[in-house]
Homo-oligomer: A and B are copies of this chain.
Amino acid sequence: MTTDRPLGQDPAEDDVLDRFYGVIPAGGVGTRLWPLSRAAAPKFLHDLTGSGSTLIRATYERLRPLCDGRTMVVTGALHRKAVMAQLPELGKANLVLESEPKDSAAAIGLAAAILYRRDPKIIMGSFAADQVINPVEQFQDAVRAAVHTAAEGYIVTIGIKPTHPSTGFGYIRTSGSLGIECAPTAQGVAEFVEKPDQEAAEAYVASGEYHWNAGMFVAPVDLLLKHLETNEPLLYAGLMEIAAAWDTPKRREVVRRVWPGLPKTAIDYAVAEPAAAAGDVAMVPGVFSWDDVGDFAAIGRLNAASETNNLTVLGDGARVYADKATGVVVSDTKRVIALIGIDDVVIVDTPDALLVTTKEHAQQVKKAVEHLRASGDTDVL
């Protein structure tokens, strides 16, 4: 028994939680957060909440009480140094580098396969590196319940209770309590549904049977791999071959040969949806706030402006003069920024690129990035 664990839990519980391993997939540039977020400095390497921590560090810290020393990160080879700098305690064995991006099924599947080779009884939890969650205690409670539920033989997604009929998230439809003693809130999952239209979203929220799909799940690695094998046998075979070589001198050679040919698909299609159809998916509700920081409007939400003005300023060296200005300023330079008479503005000031837009148009930043890529301005992407 470690000293980190709350007193009063029985040994059986301890055993289940000891099997838990946190996996942090750190991918995705966060195009809508350009020019702050770049190919070379994606979203998860930034402090977007003014907390003083990057998103990946905050994700690691949030998991630490549950899996200190048992956390794995899967990221692009390009980000090796940056991730090691953010998570110096991670250790080489827990940093899985992709030579090229292969979408979430390969990334998460590789982590599952490596962990399965190390210990087939591991229950892994997958939590994206670029989410903002509060309060962390509620998150940790939900993960503990999910681990207990997973131990009963489920792939367990953590569903977020909707606060409004969002059309920006996928939903999870539940099918009633599973009656698990250590996880009384756990429910069966009937299906995953894609982002709905407004009418459907309102019906979902009104029914009380739907939760937001935040893409967080906890699963026994053997069960996850079983479903992967059924649905994506080529991907499964390739990942198992790589995993067998991973902790050996042959890793490099096998990765080089196998990884580039692996199919690209999302974990939702490769595992979660077919597993739900097979009755193997459960949901534990999370009663915490959750934001995937999808655009600069989110940064305004997550960094409440002071009461005296309605301008959110992010950036250590920010030198902002504002007169009748509201919105969000992200300063990644030491420049003086003067804002006069402009509302709901979004300004992102970096050494080689400047974005000026409004909160309302925050989603359209992606289009600017696509345009810049098409016109060859890739030096700033």
A residues at B contact (CB < 8 Å): 34-35, 319, 321, 323-324, 334-342, 345, 347, 349, 351-358, 360-361, 364-365, 367-368, 371-372, 375, 377, 380
Q: Which residues of B contact A324 (CB under 8 A)?
A: 361
A173 to chain B, nearest CB (A): 36
Write the chain B residue with the least CB distance to A337.
Answer: B354
B336 touching A357 by the CB < 8 A rule?
A: no
Most buried by B among A342, A358, A380: A342
Picked from B351, B356, B360, the residue with its CB within 8 Å of the CB of A338 is B356
Q: Which residues of B contact A347 (CB under 8 A)?
A: 354, 356
Q: Which residues of B contact A337 (CB under 8 A)?
A: 353-356
Which 9 pairs of residues, A with B, have the shortest CB-CB distance?
A341-B361, A340-B357, A336-B353, A338-B368, A336-B380, A337-B354, A340-B361, A338-B355, A340-B364
Most buried by B among A35, A341, A380: A341
A364 touching B341 by the CB < 8 A rule?
A: yes
29 A-B pairs with CB atoms under 8 Å apart are A35-B336, A35-B338, A321-B377, A323-B367, A323-B368, A323-B371, A324-B361, A335-B351, A335-B353, A335-B354, A335-B380, A336-B354, A336-B377, A336-B380, A337-B354, A338-B353, A338-B355, A338-B365, A338-B368, A339-B357, A340-B356, A340-B357, A340-B361, A340-B367, A341-B364, A342-B357, A342-B361, A347-B354, A356-B356
Q: Which residues of B contact A345 (CB under 8 A)?
A: 342, 356
Q: How many copies does the complex hold?
A: 2
Q: Determine the distance from Cα of A320 to Cα of B356 in the docked complex, in whole angstroms.
A: 11
Most buried by B among A323, A334, A347, A365: A323
Q: Which residues of B contact A34 (CB under 8 A)?
A: 338
Q: Which residues of B contact A377 (CB under 8 A)?
A: 319, 321, 336
Q: Determine the distance from Cα of A351 to Cα of B352 in the docked complex, in whole angstroms.
A: 10
Q: Determine the distance from Cα of A263 to Cα of B337 in the docked complex, in whole angstroms.
A: 37
Q: Which residues of B contact A341 (CB under 8 A)?
A: 357-358, 360-361, 364
Can you name 15 extra interface pairs (CB under 8 A) apart from A337-B356, A338-B365? A35-B336, A321-B371, A321-B377, A335-B380, A336-B353, A336-B354, A337-B355, A338-B355, A340-B361, A341-B361, A342-B345, A342-B361, A347-B354, A347-B356, A349-B354
Q: Determine the distance from Cα of A285 to Cα of B271 in the docked complex, in whole angstroms.
A: 83
Write the chain B residue with the least CB distance to A361.
Answer: B341
Most buried by B among A339, A349, A351, A357: A357
Q: Given A323-B367, A356-B345, A367-B323, A372–B340 Cβ distance below 8 Å?
A: no
Q: Which residues of B contact A319 (CB under 8 A)?
A: 377
Q: Which residues of B contact A340 (CB under 8 A)?
A: 355-358, 361, 364-365, 367-368
Q: Determine the distance from Cα of A324 to Cα of B357 in the docked complex, in whole angstroms.
A: 10
Most buried by B among A324, A335, A339, A375: A335
A356 touching B339 by the CB < 8 A rule?
A: yes
Q: Determine the distance from Cα of A355 to Cα of B320 in the docked complex, in whole angstroms.
A: 10
Q: Given A319-B377, A354-B354, A356-B342, A336–B372 Cβ distance below 8 Å?
A: yes
Write the chain B residue with the least CB distance to A380.
Answer: B336
Picked from B323, B351, B354, B358, the residue with its CB within 8 Å of the CB of A342 is B358
Q: Determine the distance from Cα of A316 to Cα of B360 in the docked complex, in whole angstroms.
A: 31
A368 touching B335 by the CB < 8 A rule?
A: no
A336 touching B352 by the CB < 8 A rule?
A: yes
